[in-house]
Amino acid sequence: MNLTSTEAERYFRTLRPLVADIVECDLFVLPPFTSIWVARRELGDSNIAWGAQDVHPEEPGPHTGDVAAPMLVDLGCTYVEVGHSERRRDHGESDTLIGAKIRQVLRHGLIPILCVGEVDRGPVEHAIDVVVRQLETSLAGTAAADRGRVVVAYEPVWAIGEGASAADPDHVEAVHAAIHGRFRSPDGARGDVRVIYGGSVDAVSSPSLLVKDDVDGLFVGRAALDPTHFAAIARAAVGSRFKDVTQAQ
């Protein structure tokens, strides 16, 4: 819940030239609902895609204050974030509700970014158990053929927020490998799903995360509220294997 529409306009106009030559990875931003129209206007012919931070699980109708998937399509969105830990905490969102949102996002041709992650710091086995359970419940009603369209964002809750620090790269790699394992085809090949890491990502922590085989991208939060910092993190991706750098504002 950052940046007014006026502030977002300045942000996009500053960011765009800083990353205009980056073609090696997918860049996208997730501004508040009130600024998505600004993203469409300012980024429409750029290399930066945009999306939303949430969506209602049903079609347009009597749901005052909510935003439906067709509205996001009309605004040119590509991505929709679903299940962020703050939505789970502040609005009591369950994995079942998150699953309904994912299906709605897919139904309208958008790409869901499914956020998963454990609340408390602990051994990697605990993190994997929590994440796999969240994935199983959230995707239970999603057709197998559609699951490859989902981007999974691993965000350990204990690594998010003021004063927190990024998870150890080996911990992140182990959890990402487990997530990829959930989407692996019977012959052992990795599916199309992309797994990105979020949680105190900045220019210092990003290089050690980017070198990990199963880290396909980064989900950047408060560090990217400064467009120059976001651009620096994006540049760290150039030449790396990972696919995405995104900012949820």
State the total domains in the chain. Answer: 1
- DSSP for the chain, written as a single string: ----HHHHHHHHHHHHHHHTT--SSEEEEE--GGGHHHHHHHHTTSSEEEEES---SS-SSS-TT---HHHHHHTT--EEEE--HHHHHHH---HHHHHHHHHHHHHTT-EEEEEE--SS---HHHHHHHHHHHHHHHTTTS-HHHHTTPEEEE--GGGSSTT--PPPHHHHHHHHHHHHHHH--TTS---S-EEEEESS--TTTHHHHHTSTT--EEEE-GGGGSHHHHHHHHHHHTTSS--EEEEE-
Print pLDDT tens along the chain (249 aa): 999 999 999 999 999 999 999 988 899 999 999 999 999 999 999 999 999 999 999 999 999 999 999 999 999 999 999 999 999 999 999 999 999 999 999 999 999 999 999 999 999 999 999 999 999 999 999 998 899 999 999 999 999 988 899 999 999 999 999 999 988 766 655 567 899 999 999 999 999 999 999 999 999 999 999 999 999 999 987 766 545 667 765
What pLDDT score does 39 carry?
A: 98
- Looking up residue 209, the CATH number of its domain turns out to be 3.20.20.70
The boundaries of the domain holding residue 94 are 5-248
Give the active site residues.
84, 155
What pLDDT score does 242 carry?
A: 47
What pLDDT score does 175 carry?
A: 98
